[in-house]
Amino acid sequence: MPESIASKIHSNPKFVKLCKQRDTLGWILSLIVCVMYFGFTLMIAFTPDILTAPIASDSVIPLGMPLGVGIILMSCVLTGIYVFKANNTYDPIMKEIIEEATK
Amino acid sequence: MKNMKTALTSLVSSAMLFAANCASAMTVDTGPAPAGPPSAPPPVNWHAISMFVVFVGVTLYITYWAAKQTKSAADFYAAGRGVTGFQNGLAMAGDYMSAASFLGIAALVYMNGFYGLIFSVGWLVGWPIILFTVAERLRNLGKYTYADVVTFRLRQGPVRTMAAIGALIVVVWYLIGQLVGAGQLLHTLVPQISYRVSITIVGILIMLYVTFGGMKATTWVQIIKAGLLLGGATLMALGVLAHENFSFAKLFSDAVALHPKHLDIMKSVVPIGAKANPIESISLGLTLIFGTAGLPHILMRFFTVTDSKAARKSVMYSTCFIGYFYILTFIIGFGAIVMVANHPEYVVDVTKNILALKGGVNMPAIYLSHAIGGDFFLGFIAAVAFATILAVVSGLTMAGASALSHDLYAQVIMKGKPTEKQEVFVSKMSCIGFGILAIILGIAFEKQNVAYIVALTFSIAACTNFPILVLSIFWGGLTTRGAVLGGYTGIFGSIGLLIVGPTVWTKILKMGPAIFPYDFPTFVVLPLVLIVAYIVSVTDNSESAKQEREAFAAQMLRAETGIGAEKAAVH
C-alpha cells in the first residue's frame, strides 16, 4: 500500500478510535467467554459438589447440566452479537476511513 | 487439463477395480472362520455399504467438477477464495465435528454421564475466541496457511520452519487418531472388510479428493458431511426424545435408573472411578479451549472465504452448528444408556456387564441408531460416520500438504521463488505422499494404544500454534528469536511432558509411576511459552529485531483494514 495512504489512515483519529472500539469489544466478549468457561472449569476442579447438586429436590438433573448447555448457547449468542456489531457499525466506518484516505 | 482428466478417470477406474477386488475378497472372507466358536458369519450390511457407495460416488463427481476449476495455487489451497460465509461455516463444522466428537462424546456420556458435557463445552468455547481474536485478521494477513500470518514481519526461514513443524505434528497425529477410528469402525460394521482394507479405502479416497479437487473438493465434501451429520444426529435425538415422551426429566431419570452407577453419572466431574484432580481439570480446560483455536486445518479454512466479513460470519455459523451438534450428542449418549445398554443384541454379555458393547467402546451411537430405526437407519448413521472421517481426514491432508509445499518447500527451501506451477505440483505430490503415509500409519497403529492423541494434538495446538499466532498479530514487540524459542518451547515442552506423563510413561512404556503426574501439560507449558517468547523478544537488541518491531505498524494497518489482503479469484 502506498506510504501516503498508510500515513493518512494512521493519522486519522476515526481509525484510531475504531480500532480501539473493535478491540475492546473483542476482548470484552473473549473475557466473558473465558469467565463463563473457566468459572465452570474451576467449579469442576474445586466445588464439584455444588456443580453436581440436583437443580430441584425431585430431579436427578445436576446444576452443571443447564450451566454447560447455557455456556454453549451463550457462545452462539456472543458470536452473533460480535458479527452484528461488526457488520452494521464497524464496517461502514472502516469503509469511510479507507475512502477518505484513497480519494 | 486434459492430462488431469485422463489421470482422474484412470485413478477412478483403478479405485473401482480395487473396490471390486475388495468385494470378491469379502465373499471369500465370509466363509466359516477357522478359529473361534462356531457361529453364523454376520450378514453383509448392505444398507451401510450402498449408502456409503452413494456418498463416495457423489463426492468423486464433485472432485471431478472441482478439478476442472482448480488451476491456480489460490484455487488449490484456498478454493479460489470464493467460499461464502455460510458455506465456510458449514465446512468448518464439517472439518471439526470428527468421529471422535460424534461417536466419542456419545460414548463418554454413555459410560460416564455428565462428564461428557465437559468435553462438549470445552471443544466449543474455542470458537468464539477464534472469532473475537484472530478470524478477520487471519484472513486479512495470510495467503494459504497460518504460518503466513506468523511470518508476516518475522524472518521466513526459522519462524516458518517452527510453525510448519507445529502444524505437521498436530496434523499427522490427528490423522492417526482418525484413521485408527475409521479402520475399526468400518471393520466392525462390515466385518467382511478387514481393518487394512478399510484404511486403504480411506487413504485412496483422500488422495483422489485432495490431489485433484484441492480445497474446493475438500470444502464440498465437508459441507455435505456436515449436512448429513447434523441431519442424522437430529433424527437420532428426536428418536430418543420420542421414546421418552419428549421429556428430558424422564430421559435423565430413566438413564439414572438403568445405568449400573445410577446417580453417580450425574456427579461425574472426572471419569467414573477416577480420582478428582483439580489441576488436571484446569489443564484440560485450557487445552480444549486454546487447542481448538490452534488447529491448522481449521485456521486454513479462513483463507477460502471472499473477505474478512465472510470470515467473521463463517465462525458465527460454525459455532452455532457445532454447539447444536454437541447438545445432540449429549442427548444421544443418554439415549444410548436407556435404549442400548442391557439389550442382549448389542451387549457382549448382559449377565456380566450391561454396558460393554459388541464391537468396542465407540459403538453406543451406532447401536442407538439401530434401536431407533433398525437396519436401514444403522446403515445410514454408519455411512455418515464414515463420511465424517473422510471429510476430517481430507481437511487434515490439505493442511499437512500445504505446510509441506507452501511453508517448507516454497518459502523455506526455495525462499519464496518457485513458480506457482512448481508449488502446486509439489503440493499435489505432498497430498499423494500424505495419502500413502496415512495408509502406512493407520496400519502401523492398529493395535497401538492411541489414548494420548487428543492430549498430544490439542496440547501442541494450545501451547504453540495459538499463542504464537496471537502474539504475532497483537504484540508488536515479538521478534523472530522470541517466536522461534517460544514456539519450540511449546512443541518440545508438550511432547516431553506427555512422554513422562501417566498415559505414555506408565501405561504404554510401563516405566512405573509417571515423572509428571498430569495427562495434560498445558497449564505448565502455555505460561512457559508466553514467558520465553516475551523475555527473549524484549532482550533482543539486534538490528533485525528493531526492523521487525517497526514493521508492526504496516501489519496492523493491513490486519485492521484489509487493504492489501488477498483478493478472491474471479472465475
Amino acid at B450: V
Residues 6+ apart with CB under 8 A from B165: B491
Q: What is the pLDDT of residue B453?
A: 83
What is the percentage of chain B residues whose pLDDT exceeds 70?
92
Query: Are B249 and A59 in contact (CB < 8 Å)?
Result: yes
- What's the pLDDT score for residue B12? 45
Cβ atoms of residues B318 and B553 within 8 Å? no
Q: Count Cβ atoms below 10 Å from residue B192 Cβ, excluding itself.
A: 20
Could you give the percent of chain A with pLDDT greater than 90? 74
For residue B41, what pLDDT is reported?
A: 61
d(CA B70, CA B216): 8
The per-residue pLDDT for B184 is 81
Averaged pLDDT for residues A47-73: 93
The answer to whether residue A61 neighbours chain B at the CB level (below 8 Å) is: yes
Residue B293 has pLDDT above 90, yes or no: yes
Non-local (6+) Cβ contacts of B451 within 8 A are: B503, B507
Contact B326 A75 (CB under 8 A): no
Which chain A residues have a beta carbon less than 8 Å from that of B553? 6, 10
Confidence of residue B8 (pLDDT cuts 50, 70, 90): very low
Distances, alpha carbon B136 to alpha carbons A82, A86, B421, B464, in Å? 12, 11, 29, 20
What is d(CA B476, CA B455) in angstroms, rounded to the nearest whole number? 31
pLDDT of res. B346: 92
- Give the closest of A41, A48, A79 to B315, CB-based: A79
Cβ separation of A79 and B319 shorter than 8 Å? yes
DSSP class of B111? H
- Of all residues in chain B, the one with the smallest CA distance to A79 is B316
Give the gap in angstroms from C-alpha B129 to the nearest C-alpha of chain A: 6
DSSP B358-401: TT-TT-HHHHHHHHHHHHHHHHHHHHHHHHHHHHHHHHHHHHHH
Kindly indicate the confidence band of residue B103, based on its pLDDT and cuts at 50, 70 and 90. Answer: confident
List of chain B residues whose C-beta atoms are within 8 Å of the C-beta of residue A40: 121, 285
B353 strand-pairing partners: B349
Neighbours of B172 (CB within 10 A): 17
Distances in whole angstroms, Cα of residue B164 to Cα of each of A9, B186, B496 = 34, 32, 19
Written as nine digits, the cell of B34 is 477357522
Does a structural domain hold residue A2? no
Q: What is the DSSP string of A11-78?
A: H-HHHHHHHHHHHHHHHHHHHHHHHHHHHHHHHHHH-HHHHTSBSSTT---BTHHHHHHHHHHHHHHH
pLDDT of residue A64: 94
Q: Coil, strand or helix: which one is B83?
A: strand
Q: Is residue B323 predicted with pLDDT exceeding 50?
A: yes
CA distance B365 to B102: 8
Residue B319 near residue B124 (C-beta atoms within 8 A)? yes
Question: What's phi and psi for B143, nearest 5 deg?
Answer: -115, -65
Question: Does residue B32 register a pLDDT over 50?
Answer: no
Size of interface A-B (CB pairs under 8 A): 147
Number of domains in chain A: 1
Does residue B210 have a pLDDT over 90? yes
**Which of chain B's residues have a Cβ under 8 Å away from the Cβ of A30?**
128-129, 132-133
**Rounded CA separation B285/B522 (Å):** 9
pLDDT digits (tens, 9 = 90+) for A77-101: 999 999 999 999 999 999 999 888 8
Secondary structure (DSSP) of B460-526: HIIIIIHHHHHHHHH-TT--HHHHHHHHHHHHHHHHHHHHTSIIIIIIIS--SS-SS--S-THHHHH
Nearest one of B394, B375, B354 to B255, comparing CA atoms: B354
Residue B314 has which C-alpha cell?
463463517
Mean pLDDT of B127-148: 94
pLDDT value for B367: 93
Residues of chain A with Cβ-Cβ distance to B114 below 8 Å are: 52, 62, 64-65
End-to-end CA gap in chain A: 14
What single-letter amino acid sits at A23? D
Cross-chain Cβ contact A33/B129 below 8 Å: yes
Average pLDDT over residues B470-495: 96
Chain A partners within 8 Å of B133 (Cβ): 26, 30
User: What pLDDT does B522 receive?
Assistant: 96
| Integer Cα distance of B200 and B544 in angstroms | 48
Q: How far apart are CA A23 and CA B502, in angstroms?
A: 41
Asked if A59's CB is within 8 angstroms of B132's CB, the reply is no
Question: Looking at the predicted structure, is the pLDDT value of residue B31 above 60?
Answer: no
Lowest-confidence pick of B189-193, B501-505, B561-565: B189-193
Instruction: Give the count of alpha carbons within 13 A of B34, CB side only.
Output: 1
- B470-485 mean pLDDT: 96
Domain that holds residue A50: 12-102
Are B132 and A60 in contact (CB < 8 Å)? Answer: no
For B438-470, how does the pLDDT look when each residue is reduced to its tens digit (9 = 90+)? 899 989 988 877 767 878 899 999 999 999 999
Three cell numbers, residue B376: 436401514
Which residues in chain A touch residue B117, judged by CB atoms under 8 angstroms apart? 64-65, 68-69
* Cell numbers describing residue B142: 495470510
Q: Which residue has the cell 450451566?
A: A67
Binning pLDDT at 50, 70 and 90, where does residue B93 land? very high
pLDDT for B567: 86
Longest CA–CA span in chain A (Å) reads 70
* Interface residue of B96, B319, B561 to substitute, partner A, most A CBs within 10 Å: B561
Cell of B93: 463444522
Q: pLDDT value at position A1?
A: 62
Domains of chain B: 58-64+76-561 (1.20.1730.10)
- Cell triple for residue B250? 424422564
The pLDDT of residue B185 is 82
Closest CA to B30 of B40, B19, B38: B40
Residue B292 has pLDDT above 50, yes or no: yes
Cβ contacts of residue B542 below 8 Å, gap of 6+? Answer: B479, B481
Residue B419 burial (10 A CB sphere; 0-12, 13-18, 19+): exposed
B140 vs A1: CA distance, rounded Å: 13
For residue B206, pLDDT over 50 is answered with yes
Nearest residue of A to residue B329, measured between CA atoms: A69
User: Side chain identity at B239, as an amino acid letter?
Assistant: G
- Which of A19, A24, A59, A83 should be substituted to probe chain B, the one whose Cβ sees the most B Cβ atoms within 10 Å? A83
**Residues in chain B, how many?**
571
- CB-count exposure of residue B156 (10 Å: 0-12, 13-18, 19+): middle
Q: Map grid coordinates 475399526 to a residue.
A: B184
CA distance A6 to chain B (A): 7
CB burial string B6-41: b at 16+ within 10 A, e below = eebeebbeebeeeeeebeeebeeeeeeeeeeeeeee
pLDDT surpassing 90 at residue B236: yes
Can you tell me which residue has the cell 502401523?
B444
Q: What does the DSSP assignment read for B281-309? A: HHHHHHHHHHHHTT-HHHHGGGGGBSSHH
With residue B529 as reference, give the H or E element that holds it: helix B522-538
Whole-number pLDDT of residue B189: 81
Would A4 be classed as within a structural domain? no
What is the band of B42 on the pLDDT scale with cuts at 50, 70, 90?
A: low
* Residue B117: closest C-alpha in chain A: A68
pLDDT tens-digit map of B347-377: 999 888 999 998 888 889 999 999 999 989 9
Residue B433 has pLDDT above 70, yes or no: yes
pLDDT at site B570? 57
Q: What is the pLDDT of residue B22?
A: 38
pLDDT digits (tens, 9 = 90+) for B533-570: 999 999 999 999 999 999 999 999 999 988 888 888 75
Question: What span, in angstroms and rounded, lies between the C-alpha atoms of B63 and B213?
Answer: 5
Inside any domain, residue A80: yes
pLDDT at B4 over 60: no
Q: Rounded mean pLDDT of B497-522? A: 92
When pLDDT is averaged across residues B103-130 and rounded to a whole number, the result is 92
CA distance A18 to A90: 7
Tens digits of per-residue pLDDT, B237-272? 999 999 999 999 999 999 999 999 999 999 988 888
With 0-12 / 13-18 / 19 or more C-beta atoms within 10 angstroms meaning exposed / middle / buried, residue B425 is middle
User: Is there a contact between A44 and B252 if contact means CB atoms under 8 Å apart?
Assistant: no
Look at B270 and B132; give whichever has higher pLDDT: B132
B27 falls in which pLDDT band (50, 70, 90)? Answer: very low
Residue A57 lies inside a defined structural domain of this protein: yes
Q: Give B40's pLDDT tier (boundaries 50, 70, 90).
A: low
